[in-house]
Structure 1
Amino acid sequence: MNRDAEATRRRLLRAATEEFAAYGIAGARVDRIAAAAKSNKAQIYHYFGSKDGLFDAVFDAMCRETVDAVPIDPADLPEYAGRLFDSYEARPWVQRLATWYRLERAGTGSLIPVVMESNAAKIKAVAGAQRDGLLPTRFSAEELLGLVLHLSGFWSANTPEFDTRLAGNDTARRRRVVTDAVAVLVAGS
């Protein structure tokens, strides 16, 4: 792929990330994505096949970036959750895309290989830490990982009404709540 084609593809992915984060898959408009990328709709179909294919490429890239940037450390799950929280703070669109994915793709059988592979590796790491006595066994490895992942995204999953109750919490406090909650979770048996 020549440099111009790769640059066009990157612009389309950036524009699509913003569009899908704001409107979801169904609400996103290919013409707005093309205009924002200073491209045309034909390029979207050329590179990605369809609007769904473009969403898949955006979601796959987001997942790969997160997996690469925030590797799991089963010996320190509180800090792992804190680093995930940091990642979500730096890239707020990640949680919005994940929400749209859950809303619009649930039950479709459309599973993303990088997420499946990442989950399997993380579960294996947690299970190994449990076998080695580093983590409690009260919850299965899958359950414990799920709780850690959800606690790391706690702040971005609240309703606006609940957020008003927590309005005084700055970023440092929000991170500390996440890491402290995970520390409590992994402290007991």
Structure 2
Amino acid sequence: MAYDAEDTKRRIFVAATAEFAEHGLAGARVDRIAAAAKANKQAIYLYYGGKEKLFAAVLRAKLEEIHTAITIDPDAVADSVGQIFDWHQQHPELIRLLLWEALETCDDGIDASEPERRAAYREKVCGLADSVAPHLPEQERVRAAQDLLFTILGLIAWNFAVPGMCRMMLDEESDRAAMARRREAVIAAARRLTAASPVTP
């Protein structure tokens, strides 16, 4: 059977995503990734250049995945929020990866992928800006849209960052019940946020 480089890279990527989500960058082990991927460690270094670069590639790909999968409809932000919530529920690894990144990398706050990630966020913001605060000057519209987007993403992400706390604080019997309740609450909050017009400074 011929060696399939693309399949090997895919298996490494899948194994690395699970390993980094569970153990973070510092706790992840290349030998565990290789074993889970049924590949040798040399292939990881060949295709990805080492553990740090592999972590960055995994995070970048997961962010691109949600960026491609989810469009924020400026005329139906609350519906979009429900879709984003559902995506995170189906892909809990992204929040874990972002938390590990915050804990373990980027001491100066800037890394090689930052310009690309800023551009992706700008694209989402530009789609919101005109509908969020049409009565404000352009720069203030953009700032209002930035604050709205970050606030909404925070409302969504915290549920998946601390599911146990969510279950206990809401006094629900299961994570599933707590998440179903939180989904409706976050959508309602997004609806109220988008209905409220920012005050002109």
* TM-score for both structures, normalised by structure 1: 0.88
Contact 1:81 1:151 in 2 (8 A): no
Q: Which residue among 153, 158, 181 is the counterpart of 1:149?
A: 153
> How many equivalent residue pairs?
185
Q: What is the CA–CA distance in structure 2 between the aligned matches of 1:38 and 1:4, rounded to whole Å? A: 12
CA 164–67 in structure 1, closer or farther in 2 if over 3 Å, else same: same
Written as runs of structure 1 = structure 2, the 5 A alignment for 1:104-143 is 104-108=104-108, 109-112=110-113, 113-132=115-134, 140-143=144-147
* Alignment partner, residue 184 of structure 1: 192
- When normalised by structure 2's length, the TM-score is 0.83
Contact 2:78 2:190 in 1 (8 A): yes
Aligned-partner Cα distance in 2 for 1:126–1:49: 38
Q: Which runs of 5+ in 1 are unaligned?
A: none
One-letter amino acid of the structure 1 residue matched with residue 180 of structure 2:
A
CA shift for structure 1 position 29 = 0.4
Q: Counterpart in 2 of 1:66?
A: 66
How many angstroms does 1:131 deviate by? Answer: 4.8
Cα deviation, 1:29-76, whole Å, max 9, x if unaligned, reads 000000000001100000001101101111111011111111121222
Segment drifting more, 35-44 vs 144-153: 144-153
Equivalent residues in 2 for 1:3-152 (5 A)?
Answer: 4-108=4-108, 109-112=110-113, 113-132=115-134, 140-152=144-156
In structure 2, relative to structure 1, the CA distance for the partners of 1:35 and 1:123 (3 Å cut) is same
CA offset digits 1:111-152 (Å, max 9, x no partner): 52442221011111221223546xxx6x72211111111112
User: Does the 8 Å CA contact 1:77/1:148 hold for their aligned counterparts?
Assistant: no
Q: CA deviation at 1:105?
A: 2.1
